[in-house]
Structure 1
Amino acid sequence: MTITAEQRRARILYLVRELGTVRVVDLAERIGLAAVTVRRDVAALADAGLLHRSHGAVSLPRRESVAGRVTGQDRVVGMLVPTVGSYFDEIIEGARSAAAAAGARLVLGISAYESSDDRAQAEQLLDAGVDGLLLTPNWKPGGQPENSAWLAGLRVPAVLVERRAAPESPFAELDSVGSDHHHGVLVALQHLSSLGHRAVQLAARDDTWTAYHVRTGYQEAVGLLGLEPRPVVGIHQPGGDMEEVAVRIAAGVADGARAVLVHNDQDAIHLVPLLRGRGLRVPDDVALISYDDVFAALAAPPLTAVAPPKRAVGSAALELLLRRLESGPELPVHHVELLPELKVRTSCGGVGPSGAAR
């Protein structure tokens, strides 16, 4: 029996309602028709406003808000993060809140800081029928691993979160939203400089994306502000080698560097009593600024901290992905960097080395 165009299109609409976003080639396979025929039917349905086409896939059109802006109604967004807890909790919450406000749903995947897990977790999200992906790949400091080639073949739009591909990378044209950590370090050192400090030590890890940019941002900021450069005090295991870190910072203090920026909050909080055990009180003997501002306000004393806009990053990434889903390739590629701010508390108080108030 011959299937009419109306019957074909009714079947297409039924499958899209059942499956959510689906590729045209998959529709053709399910219906048992040539892909060219299904593409023609999909085009007719899209012209009638019954379907939405994007990146070779189709979905139901979204309803508009009262302001006339297209929302994410009925969209499902997958979000892949390397961990939950502390820093990424706030990013996830920002994305979740933005999704709820737009009428979309967020589905979470965790890749456990092992780059080999990224692809499997992303495929799991894709198999769940997500319309787009928010991705924080496990890229090592200073570059992207070779086994990220799968990113170029994603069948749905994706936005990088707290990651940005190098200009020469095959992923450079992926949308991205993240914190400008170089700016975050600069505002911290500007504050310490304004308080009379001419030398600031940096204690930081070297195994994460953020730590890499904190380190490179430190080198830039020292040059821009005309501060005395000091060797970075490496933190090689979170919370595990802080005794040695305290020894090196104490030596730096004795050499005139009475201010320190510590990445991250957890290590900064560990450091305070260890410095006190060496006769150095925060803030009287050494000014301390933490980087991340997840737990800094809970420390004793409360720590002045650089606060990346974590919730805003999650929210902006979700909203950008919904715009990409709506506009497709007509929307220019966005590389968005949001500026951290400095939350001034008591750990920079007292009197600076030049006599200025801290």
Structure 2
Amino acid sequence: MTLTAEERRARILEAVGELGTVRVVHLAERLGLAAVTVRRDIAALADNGLLNRSHGAVSLPRGAATPASTGREWVIGMLVPTAGSYFDEIIAGARAAASAAGARLVLGIAPYGAAEDRAQVGQLLESGVDGLLVTPNWTPDGPSGVGSWISELPLPTVLVERRAPADSVGAGLDSVASDHGHGVMLALRHLAGLGHGAVMLTARQDTWTAYQVRAGYTEGVRLLGLEPRPVIDIEHPGQDSEAIGARIAEGVAEGARAVLVHNDKEAIQLVPVLRARGLRVPEDVAVISYDDVFAALAAPPLTAVAPPKRAVGAAALELLLRRLGSGDERLPVHHLELLPELKIRTSCGGSG
């Protein structure tokens, strides 16, 4: 049976934990794998701080611990605001990285707006986790000091798809997030390259990502010299399609023939509403969706900004394991931002 990359890397870590320093060729022979495949997996593990490489041999980082060397597995608690759509992929990335490292993931969910973050984290702590991946229910305009309790948690903690304000105590926490400003710029630059001098934005206003998308739009329009347009608010997600379609139709009549929509669900619902108003996609209005969870399934398939969701989950888990395993207080705080991609499909016209 063919092993997945996660399974191969888990076996590599287990073997290195048992053998100590070992040459790559001997490790490949022990595992019955091609040397080129083992080298590729070792490079990925080393990039994430889980292995050291030196002169054709590999070893665990100083002070690192694995199930093979400790007789136990790291148990990682993960708090997310939802287990659906966008966060499904983040969870999947963290879960695969945990499996590759011989760790176990325990999930907690604190729904948007439910103010259950602390209670859910408390439950994870009581379950005996060794470290935490936390996506708190923050918005940039929230009250000052919100979430400061996270910096006081007794275990290593990594923020996922969140960044604490620079003037807060939480700024000293590790974080891994998508650079949504870059993602919006990709969309705006693509539309500008297709000849659009004005691009509308319709976006939610109840999530962290929505605020980042809005801020990225304001900055991107300024940098690209596009005509600024008022943001079309999605006040009731999933229920405002008719009203939003009317606003977009007004914008098209005023010469703005392109729109960025946050998120996929809203964009997919908008397409038939626009069609009912005589606006064809992409002939009359170009549409780009933000999130790329379901965008490829739309009719027509939607060009979409795709944050690196799985990679965010994996990088956050690997960073936390690195901090747990190194035992080195000198390891600096990491603020990692991963760049989204633009997936070109048919809803804009033109090509990538």
Runs of 4+ off more than 6 Å: 62-66
Give the corresponding residue for 2:340.
340
Alignment of 1:164-179 (within 5 A): 164-179=163-178
Please give the secondary structure, in 2, of the residue aligned with 1:171.
helix
1:136 aligns with 2:135: yes
Q: Using the aligned pairs only, state the percent identity.
A: 68
- Deviation at residue 318 of structure 1 after TM alignment: 0.2
Q: Measured at CA, do residues 322 and 72 of structure 1 come closer, stay the same or move farther in structure 2, by a change above 3 Å?
A: farther
Which amino acid in the other structure matches residue 228 of structure 1? E
Give the corresponding residue for 1:161.
160
Cα deviation code 1:35-73 (max 9, x no counterpart) = xxxxxxxxxxxxxxxxxxxxxxxxxxx999983134653
Give the corresponding residue for 1:97.
96
Give the corresponding residue for 1:221.
220
Cα deviation code 1:172-223 (max 9, x no counterpart) = 0000000000000000000000000000000001111000000010000001
Cα deviation code 1:314-341 (max 9, x no counterpart) = 0000000011112342110000000000
Distance 2:128 2:347 in 1: 48
Where does structure 2 lack aligned partners over 5 or more consecutive residues? Answer: 1-49, 68-72
Give the corresponding residue for 1:314.
313
Distance 2:334 2:271 in 1: 40
1:330 aligns with 2:330: yes
TM-score (norm 2): 0.79
TM-score (norm 1): 0.78
Distance 2:177 2:168 in 1: 17
Q: Give the greater-gyration-radius structure (CA).
A: 1
- Deviation at residue 149 of structure 1 after TM alignment: 3.0
Q: Is the 8 A contact 2:148 2:168 kept in 1?
A: no
Q: Is the 8 A contact 1:268 1:290 kept in 2?
A: yes
Which amino acid in the other structure matches residue 335 of structure 1? H
Please give the secondary structure, in 1, of the residue aligned with 2:155.
coil
Give the corresponding residue for 2:58.
67
Which amino acid in the other structure matches residue 336 of structure 2? V
Q: How many pairs align?
A: 291
Alignment of 1:11-30 (within 5 A): none
Please give the secondary structure, in 1, of the residue aligned with 2:249.
helix
Calculate the aligned-residue CA RMSD, in Å.
1.9
- Deviation at residue 146 of structure 1 after TM alignment: 4.0
Q: Is the 8 A contact 1:139 1:145 kept in 2?
A: no
Q: Is the 8 A contact 1:78 1:106 kept in 2?
A: yes
- Deviation at residue 143 of structure 1 after TM alignment: 4.4
Where does structure 1 lack aligned partners over 5 or more consecutive residues? Answer: 1-61, 351-356
Please give the secondary structure, in 2, of the residue aligned with 1:237.
coil
